[in-house]
Amino acid sequence: MSTIETRASSLSEKSGIRWGRVLLAAILSELAVIVLLVTASVVYSFIVPTERSKLAAQDIGALVGYYVAPPAGALATFVFVLWVARKLKSNFIINGVAVGVVSVLLTSGFLAGARAEDRPMYLVAFVLRIAAGYVGGWVAQQRRRRS
């Protein structure tokens, strides 16, 4: 085993956090949100009448991002926390919160580039992701206790 692998496994053993899975889950949750936003934009462009489509095309990205991204991010975080926790025997909630925090860190750069009126929604989205991580960890813990 290489020195890097030894250090990584040692860190995971000490903290109880499966960092590799946490990072992968955070990345996958963000990719899921991007896929959903693109899909929602495409579907909307087919639904809107042609005469309104130019105006809609300009605004749809912002509208979909504003209203769909926060709950989609929370749902994706929750689902991927359940994936992270499936082989855990303990530390469910800390792993779930870690997924939420890492996913927030991955998306926090968007906050700097956001319009001032959109920043509160980014903060809401960040809180939702961390809360979804907590809830996902709690649900996984309850499932483990029942089985």
Q: What is the pLDDT of residue 6?
A: 54
pLDDT tens digit sequence for 116-138 = 888 899 999 999 999 999 999 99
pTM higher than 0.95 for the full model?
no
Per the CB < 8 A criterion, the answer to whether 59 and 116 are in contact is no
CA distance 7 to 12: 9
Residue 8 domain flag = no
Residue 33 domain flag = yes
Q: What is the pLDDT of residue 46?
A: 75
Residue 82 domain flag = yes
Q: What is the pLDDT of residue 34?
A: 93
Helix residue ranges, H only, the chain:
3-15, 19-47, 50-85, 92-107, 109-113, 119-146
Q: What is the pLDDT of residue 7?
A: 54
Total domains, the chain: 1
Give the structural domain span for 122: 18-146
Residue 28 domain flag = yes
Residues of the chain with confidence (pLDDT) below 70:
1-14, 48-58
State the chain's maximal CA–CA distance in angstroms.
63
Residue 1 domain flag = no
Residue 2 domain flag = no
Quick one: which of 106, 98, 123 has its CA closest to 31?
Answer: 106
